[in-house]
Structure 1
Amino acid sequence: MTASAPMTAPAPTPSTPATRPRVRTGRLGLHAFLAAVSLAFLAPLLLAVYASLRPYEETAEHGYFSLPRSLSFDYYRQAFTDSGMGTYFVNSLLIALPGVLIVLFLASFVAFAVTRLRMRGQLFLLVLFTAGNLLPQQVIVTPLYVLFNRVPLPYWMSDSMTMYDSLWAVIAVQVGFQLGFCVFVLSNFMRTLPHEILEAAIVDGAGVWTRYWRITLPLCRPALAALGTLEFTWMYNDFLWALVFISNGDKLPITSALNNLRGQFFTDYNLLAAGSVLVALPTIVVFLLLQRHFIAGLTLGAGKG
């Protein structure tokens, strides 16, 4: 018998490191560009917050971009009390909240009519609402001023017995000018909804109101949230129409509170910065609460399927 040759173990193969996905140069450049744009938009807000925490004497001596010697929230307390911001804040909510709800309700109903109902003149009606956005608002300031002075209201709705010098005038103008944009956006969104859902509802005997309120509106929640955020921001920050149609200073919106922080001969811009931050807080809170729906509304239709 011949001895068999000893078996040799196979040589170990060097372990290959896990391959990592390559980061594209274009993607890095895109992220850098988006970061730079974000910082550019945030820079004024961050500078306002930074200035509002410092005394004016310090920034006047060392500049706004110097390191702080002391930080405090005294300007925020002073801005809130000196400007009477609480009253103006309530006035802005009395304008913005009803205005947003009325605009979304009317715009969604019109968009439902021009996209989901079989009626004549659908395209003309949609073009008519969309064309309203092309009209400059300043062109009809004088006609609206004359009109609101002649439209009567009961005493419990207006102290002046007319639409002039009342919040109703500002709400009506805001609704009228924002309605066309909301109809355009909601009609485009409703066109993407499957028709089979409404056809099944018609077979089950659902009326027009049921198809609108219980079927279509829940499906439009992302678009309504995105529009609600934008409309609240626009109506809350507007000052032109209140300045034209309201003469009583106690009825002005919160944007007028900043004007109360200006002195006749001297303006403390750090105090004004604190007031600006306080005025902007409600819009920031609304965006944070509706952020998920807002982003979903902006990305609708971005992908297929």
Structure 2
Amino acid sequence: MYPPPIQDRPLPVRVAYRLVLYVAIAAWIAPLIAIVMTAIRAQGDLLAGNYWGMPQQFALVENFREIFASSPMGMFFVNSIVVTVTTVVGVLVLSTLAAVALAKYPFPGRTLVFSMFIAGNFVPYQILMIPVRGIVLSLGLYDSIWALIIFHTAFQTGFATLFLRNFVVALPNELFEAARLEGASEFTIIWQIIVPLLRPALAGLSVLVFTFVWNDYFWALVLVQSDAAKPLTLGLAGLKGEWLTAWNLISAGSLAAALPPVALFFLTQKHFVAGLTVGAVKS
């Protein structure tokens, strides 16, 4: 038996549901409102203790101009784009190939390899800090963009392979057999048959990986030191001064940092929702 819809419940239950819902929405959106309100304020408002009242002076444009003029925020932004886009492309390519191999090609040890992919997703990434840093140092990649790209690609490919394999398993084997009878190579089958069918899943996965990598702070702090290789998240932390912190500039920078993943989500929203819900209802 399924629980009845909320509109069919007694009046006290419906009222309690709405109250809890409104409280949860307010608790979730309050930090966002605080960031926006801080980003549009001038520094004088914050020094005067005016945190939640109406700003005495609106300075959103000035704050945005200041963070790009007084800090290498533009370079941080470019670094984040390079690291994130390169990682997303690498993860999609590697995970697609690995998912097809694990789902459709029987080979000795396939179950063991798949088990390793699953187990890797349950390893707390913090415990990898020392060995990963040691490997990066031994390869001479410390404090470089490539250190972040290689690590994020390796770390996200396990999750992406596990995500895509379930979609590839659902594809009928007759598609592969018919393509092989027509003389198509294995890479042709992947590129012209599997990838178009996986488009919703790949779109949803790209949004997830993009968000994970773009918002990463921990590994940027571990693997990067100089401004030349810092991503945006680490650059924003550098705006905090020793004696005085310009929270209006940090908030404005946070809004700027949030725009790319939000824009990507809305651009791929249709495919993202389809990728997450495909197979949820049996036809």
Query: CA contact under 8 A between 1:82 and 1:261: conserved in structure 2?
Result: no
Change (3 A) 1:271 1:113: same
Aligned residue number for residue 103 of structure 1: 91
Answer 1 or 2: which has greater helix percent: 2
SS of the aligned residue for 2:121 comes to: helix
CA distance in 1, matches of 2:187, 2:202: 18
- Note the C-alpha offset of 1:31: 7.5
Aligned residue number for residue 125 of structure 2: 137
Aligned residue number for residue 18 of structure 1: none
Aligned residue number for residue 44 of structure 2: 57
Q: Look at both structures and tell me which one has the larger radius of gyration over its CA atoms.
A: 1
Aligned residue number for residue 220 of structure 1: 198
Deviates more, 1:65-74 or 1:243-252: 65-74
Amino acid in structure 2 at the alignment position of 1:65: W
Query: CA contact under 8 A between 2:99 and 2:162: conserved in structure 1?
Result: yes
- Note the C-alpha offset of 1:168: 1.4
Aligned residue number for residue 241 of structure 1: 219
Query: CA contact under 8 A between 1:130 and 1:183: conserved in structure 2?
Result: no
SS of the aligned residue for 2:127 comes to: helix
Match of 2:188 among 196, 207, 210: 210
Summarize the alignment of residues 139-178 of structure 1 with structure 2, pairs less than 5 Å apart: 139-151=127-139, 162-178=140-156
State the number of aligned residues. 274
Match of 1:287 among 265, 268, 271: 265
1:113 aligns with 2:108: no
Unaligned runs of 5+ in 2: 1-6
Identical positions, percent: 36
CA distance in 2, matches of 1:296, 1:116: 23
Amino acid in structure 2 at the alignment position of 1:165: D
- Note the C-alpha offset of 1:37: 4.1
Q: TM-score, normalised by structure 2?
A: 0.87
Aligned residue number for residue 41 of structure 1: 28
1:260 aligns with 2:238: yes
- CA deviations over 1:26-63 (Å, ceiling 9, x no partner): 89677876665455433322221122112243355464
Aligned residue number for residue 4 of structure 2: none
1:67 aligns with 2:45: no
Deviates more, 1:129-138 or 1:183-192: 129-138
CA distance in 1, matches of 2:164, 2:20: 31
